[in-house]
Amino acid sequence: MMPDLGRYALEVSLAYLVSLGMIGALVLWYWARGRTVRRQLDEIETRRGKNE
C-alpha cells in the first residue's frame, strides 16, 4: 500500500505528518475552546434563568 518514496521518503512523510499534526492540533484547540465556552455560557444562562 505504501508507495515507494525513494530516497526522499523521510522528507515527504515528515512534511505530511507535521502538517496534518498541526491542522489536527488547531482543530482540537478550536473544538476544546468551543466546548468550554459553550458549557460556561449554558451554566450562566441556567443560573440566570433560576434567578429571574
**Is residue 8 a contact point for another protein (CB under 8 A)?**
yes
**Is residue 44 a contact point for another protein (CB under 8 A)?**
yes
C-alpha torsion 5→11→16→17, nearest 10: 110
**Is residue 28 a contact point for another protein (CB under 8 A)?**
no
* Percent of the chain as helix, strand, coil, to the nearest 5: 90, 0, 10
Candidates 34, 46, 49, 50; binder of another protein (CB under 8 A) is 34
**Is residue 49 a contact point for another protein (CB under 8 A)?**
no
**Is residue 5 a contact point for another protein (CB under 8 A)?**
yes
DSSP state of 29: H
